[in-house]
Amino acid sequence: MRISIVNPNSTRSMTETIAHAARQAAARGTEILAYQNDAGPISIEGHVDGALAVPGLLHALAIAERDGADAHIIACFDDTGLEAARSILKGPVIGIGEAAARMATLVARRYSVITTLSVSVPILEDNLSRAGLSSLCASVRASELPVLALEADPEAANAKISEEIARAIDEDGAEAIVLGCAGMADFAASLSERHGVPVVEGVSAAVKLMEAAVTLGLKTVKRGGYATPRPKDQGFVYPDGMIGYTESAPVLEPVE
């Protein structure tokens, strides 16, 4: 099977980290197609960055489906553009935020999310509520680390996240931890060992969930809220679900 994973931001090093984590998690026989939204912001921190990322993200996802991807992963913990993506794609789509939270509920009654900046907390809380995952969420905590700081000084970032995990366990009763950013993927194993609780990162969780969905032959429903958008006579071209892009839109190549 082929699974696409799209980084909604335009930072190449982060895309490479995401691709590596996805390929490490993938089962034998699963091919990971990794793409980057070159038209997006360098990081996604809050509503504005997320809104700016959506057009390029949808373009990349449509390219991925044309390239033969059976399922798709949005590699931003905000689950940027998820509902729109499900409307234009046939294969199942999940964001790493939803994937990580769903996986945490399989191993614990109460989980906490440790994210980057406070500006993202309301977004994540709304997403968890919309996905029906908020009742088991003990807290959503911000480490106050900018996204790009995760790569700039990984050791300091790991320590800061660890401090917030300790507070979530002691103060909020968290039994499992969800890492709230794709850039935290490499920290999960060491943090789990340090704190003695399951620590779930969304990239790996999303890969395993999408492998299961493809194995079960599941497709995204094309009625109701996820019905394919009707073409509109406004000069737009809608080839294979590429919403709002003209025929001259650039073709993306997967990240190796």
Each residue of 220-247: pLDDT tens digit?
Answer: 999 999 998 877 665 444 444 444 443 3
Q: What is the pLDDT of residue 234?
A: 56
In a domain, 73, yes or no: yes
- SS3 of residue 93 by DSSP: strand
Q: What is the pLDDT of residue 84?
A: 94
Count other C-beta atoms under 10 Å from residue 249's C-beta: 17
CB-side neighbour CA atoms (13 Å) of 188: 24
Q: Quote the CA–CA distance of 128 and 70 in Å, as a whole number.
A: 25
Q: What is the pLDDT of residue 149?
A: 87
- SS3 of residue 174 by DSSP: coil
Residue 57 lies in domain = 2-96+205-241
Rounded to an integer, the average pLDDT of 27-38 is 95
Q: What is the pLDDT of residues 150-166, one digit of tens each?
A: 888 889 999 999 999 99
What's the CATH number where 173 sits? 3.40.50.12500
Q: Considering the chain, what percentage of its residues have pLDDT values greater than 90?
A: 80
Q: How many domains does the chain have?
A: 2
Asked if 218 and 158 sit in the same domain, the reply is no
Q: Name the pairing type of β-strands 93-95 and 31-36.
A: unpaired
- SS3 of residue 107 by DSSP: coil
Asked if 165 and 139 sit in the same domain, the reply is yes
The partner residues of 186 in beta bridges, in order of sequence, read none
Asked if 125 and 145 sit in the same domain, the reply is yes
